[in-house]
Amino acid sequence: MSEQRPWLASYPAGIPAEIDPGQYSSVPAVLEEAIAHYRDRPAFSNMGRTITYGELDALSRDFAAYLLGELKLKKGDRVAIMMPNCLQYPIATFGVLRAGLTVVNTNPMYTARELRHQLVDSGAAAILVMDNFGKTVQDVLPDTEVKQVITTGLGDLLGFPKGPIVNFVLKYVKKMVPDYTIHGAVRFRDTLALGRKHQLPDVAIGPDDIAFLQYTGGTTGVAKGAMLTHRNLVANMQQASAWVGTNVKPGQETIITALPLYHIFALTANGLVFMKFGAKNILITNPRDMPGFVKELKREPFTAITGVNTLFNGLLNTPGFDEIDFSRLHLTLGGGMAVQRAVAERWKQVTGNTLVEAYGLTETSPAACINPMTLPEYNGSIGLPVPSTEACIKDEDGRQLPVGEVGELCIRGPQVMKGYWQRPEDTAEAIDADGWLHTGDMARMDEKGFFYIVDRKKDMILVSGFNVYPNEVEDVIAMMPGVLEVAAIGVPDEKSGEAVKVVIVKKDSALTADQVKAHAREHLTGYKHPRIVEFRKELPKTNVGKILRRELRDDGE
């Protein structure tokens, strides 16, 4: 077997070749074990308020009881959660899962168009939304099947007097909470009180039940829901914890969670894996406020941090970061987008800790490859396949290629999704008959089993770790009457890795770049906005009229 899995010989000591994905029947089963072991330890902390594992148990139980007892939701019903990192997030997520329901993670920055698609596609029965984004929910509600809206303010769980002050400042000083009216909406705190009146029934949750509908763009530009089962998440938790566990001290870890929990990387790596270790998760609500983020990092020494390249780069360029106490930091994990060598080397220089790169996809829950934690320095690789995972490089005809040759990276293992929600054709295209997930990333493997990403097969643009699909951007820009043709491509960007550039052939000669950008702001989330707008007389095309994006990219180099 090791001939086909050369990476096993490169595994650090103490890491098993296989894990047991059947050790826990569900995500709540792992949570219950963590609660039993670490009941009095801090679980999640945000803006100075901390809840213990015992409090997380009681609060998530109350929310689960509300969903089943008051809303009468049935097993498998979908509940959308639309918030930044705050204490309400883990409470709600674990509550939904304990009730045997499915979490639909929703980016709070979605425009009405994007949110409408996700709520309609998932058939969500309820949505929990933070007040800042209530207006967007109000705008799309009539077009959806949502029966109940639950609302909350950022300060609602921060206690008195801090909570009311935070809510007041956000609404009246910073003007970050637009007015909205949703008839019949219930406050999150009230759902907990209502849930307390109900027993939480014993819900049978099986490994094949869907834990999360995790939306990800597709080459068609329409966001698709990856069905991540309890077995997928448990397997990935077991894989990642086996990998990092050799240098983790259970009950003594403090991890910084700055990436949003609605993103699969932070959800699994921080929210689930470190919960298993009884860690304290420090939730950063707005990591874009870099000075505020650095101030938060100075409050107490932390042992682990995950992030994307742009986050690490931002911290390194923020005054005061180099004055932080890094004496306990032993784990820095980078993923979501390529880590740049210059950033990794500077991180090591400033913190004394190696920035270890990992690779994953929404479709793999997400971890597929991780570099050894014993790595002395950045190596430019995405690492080795994690336990119970196979990886290979295939050519266009589906044949496995030998060491060193470039082809499409394919992954097989218990963390690979069940498929795309209600999209059998897309599922069949992504997962072949032998169970290999085709990632769309071009890569090669060296003789030691380390994998290297070379290029992307798809035209996807990666902005700060978020997927941007050119088709979606093009569809939105093409809605403008003054646009004849449009192509969207990714161009290198120092801050975000890549930025969106659109090349337009005008229908109306008076069309300006500012008008295009204003239109994009109205219909697309921030990271999808075109940073650069270029006008041309014509776009390069194939003989059948397909726009050659690659040629546009090459032109720019």
Q: Which of the given ranges, 81-95, 329-343, 449-463, has the highest pLDDT on average?
A: 81-95
6-46 per-position pLDDT tens digit: 999 999 999 999 999 999 999 999 999 999 999 999 999 99
Instruction: State the pLDDT at residue 1.
Output: 38
Average pLDDT over residues 71-83: 97
State mean pLDDT over 483-510.
Answer: 93
In a domain, 24, yes or no: no
**What pLDDT score was predicted for residue 557?**
61
User: Does residue 545 form part of some domain?
Assistant: yes
Instruction: Return the amino acid letter for 176.
Output: M
Per the CB < 8 A criterion, the answer to whether 311 and 318 are in contact is no
Contacts of residue 265, Cβ cutoff 8 Å, sequence gap at least 6: 259, 306, 308, 335, 336, 360, 366, 465
- Check: CB of residue 105 under 8 Å from CB of residue 212: yes
- Tell me the pLDDT tens digit for each residue of 132-170: 999 999 999 999 999 999 999 999 999 999 999 999 999
Instruction: Evaluate whether residue 473 is within a structural domain.
Output: yes
Q: Report how far residue 10's alpha carbon sits from residue 450's, in angstroms, rounded to the nearest whole number.
A: 8
> Average pLDDT of 527-556?
85
Confidence at residue 502, expressed as pLDDT on a 0 to 100 scale:
97
**Measured distance CA(474)–CA(483) in Å, rounded:** 10
378 is a domain residue: no
Which residues, in sequence order, are bridge partners of residue 304? 255, 331
Mean pLDDT of 66-87: 98
CB neighbourhood size of 1 (10 A): 7
Tell me if 294 is assigned to some domain: no
Burial profile 18-48: b = 16 or more Cβ within 10 angstroms, e = fewer: ebebeebbbbbebbeebbeebeebbbbbbbe
Does residue 456 surpass a pLDDT of 70?
no
Indicate if the pLDDT at residue 506 is higher than 80. yes
Q: Sorting pLDDT into bands at 50, 70 and 90, what band is 550?
A: confident
Number of domains in the chain: 1
Q: What is the DSSP letter of 534?
A: E
Is 540 a member of any domain? yes
Residues 238-273 pLDDT 10s: 999 999 998 899 999 999 999 999 999 999 999 999
Quote the pLDDT of residue 544. 54
| Residue 495 within any structural domain of the chain | yes
pLDDT digits (tens, 9 = 90+) for 403-433: 999 899 999 999 999 999 999 999 999 999 9
Q: Please indicate, yes or no, if residue 416 is contained in any of the structural domains.
A: no
Q: Which of 457 and 273 is assigned the larger pLDDT?
A: 273
Tokens 């949570």 locate to 31
Predicted pLDDT of residue 219: 41
Contact 511, 481 (CB under 8 A): no
What CATH number is attached to the domain comprising 549? 3.30.300.30
pLDDT in tens, 360-407: 999 999 999 999 999 999 998 999 999 999 999 999 899 999 999 989
Whole-angstrom Cα Rg for the chain:
23
pTM of the model: 0.89
Task: Label residue 218 by pLDDT band (50, 70, 90).
Answer: very low
Q: Report the run of H or E that residue 509 belongs to, with start and end.
A: none
What's the pLDDT band for 458 if we cut at 50, 70, 90? Answer: low
Q: Are strands 42-46 and 280-283 parallel, antiparallel or unpaired?
A: parallel
Q: Are 330 and 304 in contact (CB under 8 A)?
A: yes
In percent, the amount of the chain with pLDDT more than 90 equals 85
Please confirm whether the linkage preceding 366 is cis (ω < 30° from 0).
yes
Domain extent, residue 480, equals 461-556
Q: What's the mean per-residue pLDDT of the chain? A: 94
Q: What is the three-class DSSP state of 251?
A: coil
Strands 483-493 and 384-385: unpaired
